[in-house]
Amino acid sequence: MEQKSYRRTRIGRVIADKTPKTVKVQLAGIVQHAKYKKYIRQQTTCLAHDPDEQCKLGDLVRIEECRPFSKLKKWIVREVIEKADAKTKDSMKEATDDQVGIGS
């Protein structure tokens, strides 16, 4: 008899992969405002454990909730859904450079 897993899974895009065995994943979603009924885009970032270091910048990944690996790392990468193409990698790199202030 198989046990059913009650762990949450999310799909997000890798926005940072500089630290060893860790990736930063951005989860995007749309929610409706309770009072004004307008749809709002929300973004959440979380750290995920990547034991094989298979994820690269811009990849679309499925992450699953797990035991805490560290203070902030409570997710693990289960699969890489889509590898990032050159155009996506360039846009992701430009966005991170702009945030740091390197581009100006």
CA torsion sign for 100, 40, 80, 23 is positive
Q: What is the chain's pLDDT, residue by residue, as a tens digit (104 residues)?
A: 667 778 899 999 999 999 999 999 999 999 999 999 999 999 999 999 999 999 999 999 999 999 999 999 999 999 999 998 887 777 777 776 666 555 54
pLDDT attached to residue 92: 73
Q: What are the boundaries of each domain within the chain?
A: 9-100
Contact 60, 82 (CB under 8 A): yes
> Over the chain, what is the mean pLDDT?
89
Strand-pairing partners, residue 94, are none
Q: What is the DSSP letter of 3?
A: P
Q: In CATH, which of 2.40.50.140, 2.102.10.10, 2.60.40.1230, 2.40.128.20 is domain 9-100?
A: 2.40.50.140
